[in-house]
Amino acid sequence: MCQRLDDLWEENRGSVVLFAWMQFLKEETLEYLNIKSPYEVQFTNNGMHTLMEVEEEASLCIAAASPENEESPCNAAAATEDEASLCNAAAAPENKASLCIAEAAPEGEAVDRRAIQDVQSVYDLIRHILDFDESQQKKCFDSKQFLCNICFSEKLGSDCTYFKDCSHVYCDSCLRDYFEIQIRDGQVHALNCPEPRCTSVATPAQVKKLVGEELFGRYDRLLLKSTLELMTDVVYCPRLSCQTPVMQEPGGTMGICTSCQYAFCTLCMMTYHGVSKCKGCKSTLDL
């Protein structure tokens, strides 16, 4: 099976091979293995028997290593140096599976280690495949030349930024200037693709890579502030030295700052006064 998958890899060299593998495994595996219907499945305990023998030999070797046993039964029973090495290797737990597989395989036939599943979860396997695919796409992107529609210069992909939602590419130098101007002007929601009528937005990771730590910190603060301002249940601590966002309880008028522990009225923004009327202006009280 592994050899056939290798052949498909060679036949599709330079192109996507995953779908060819899936098609073969789903539709052609039984025919390739010459398995015809009906197929009788028989139970065999060869593998279990081999594993039990390995565990028994391992127990003997471990017992022989104890101080009360001066002579090792394994070494005494071993007629050759190879047999002694096999007995000592059986004592290692990590070698049990290898010995079992080796003894269960037909004589003279090598076992391809790739045929043994070493991934505990299918979801982990999918994640590894997606990560590998992303890294290969990044590698191909970095080695290609792209035309920037701002400065009209051709640059390597390693010096460009790719917008995933729209597939537009611009050089880092032009995007850096564009993003820095937008952040300094407080337009943190305008860090989108420069292409006319394009609504793709740069990811925070792309912004951080282009503008640096200082401007990214400003961008992060302004973005958080503008987001909180859209939330009707969020108010700010009235202390000028604090200004921490505070969640307002539904139906309540008291807010407690989690930073300075200041309790205040969310209507008049003064110290909380309980059931007493607010001293704020009439328009505020009407709200």
Q: Give the type of residue at 60.
A: L
Domain identity same for 171 and 273 = no
Q: Give the type of residue at 120.
A: Q
Q: What range does the domain containing 193 cover?
A: 162-229
Tally of CB atoms within 10 A around 71: 8
pLDDT band of residue 56 (cuts 50, 70, 90) is low
Domain identity same for 68 and 168 = no
Q: Give the type of residue at 255.
A: G
Q: Phi and psi for 245 in degrees, rounded to 5?
A: -65, 140
Beta-carbon contacts of residue 46 (< 8 Å; ≥ 6 apart): 104
Structural domain includes residue 83? yes
Domain identity same for 108 and 29 = yes
With a pLDDT cut of 90, the percent of the chain lying above it is 17
**What b/e sequence results for 172-199 when a residue is b if at least 16 CB atoms lie within 10 Å of its CB, and e otherwise?**
bbbbbebbeebbeeeebeebbbbeeeee
Domain identity same for 196 and 265 = no
15-29, 79-93, 116-130, 159-173: which range is least confident on average?
Answer: 79-93
Domain identity same for 29 and 82 = yes
Q: How many residues does the chain have?
A: 287
pLDDT band of residue 164 (cuts 50, 70, 90) is confident
**What b/e sequence results for 246-280 when a residue is b if at least 16 CB atoms lie within 10 Å of its CB, and e otherwise?**
beeeeeebebebeeeebebbbbbbeeebeeeeeee
Domain identity same for 96 and 48 = yes
In this structure, what CATH number is given to the domain that contains residue 255?
Answer: 2.20.25.20
6-20, 36-50, 56-70: which range is least confident on average?
Answer: 56-70
Domain identity same for 225 and 239 = no
Structural domain includes residue 137? no
Q: Is the pLDDT of residue 81 over 80?
A: no
Q: Is the pLDDT of residue 46 over 70?
A: no
Question: Model pTM?
Answer: 0.50
Q: Reduced to 3 states, what is the DSSP secondary structure of residue 23?
A: helix
Domain identity same for 246 and 280 = yes
Q: Please, what is the angle between helix 81-90 and helix 96-104, to 10°? A: 120
**What total number of domains does the chain contain?**
3
In this structure, what CATH number is given to the domain that contains residue 192?
Answer: 3.30.40.10
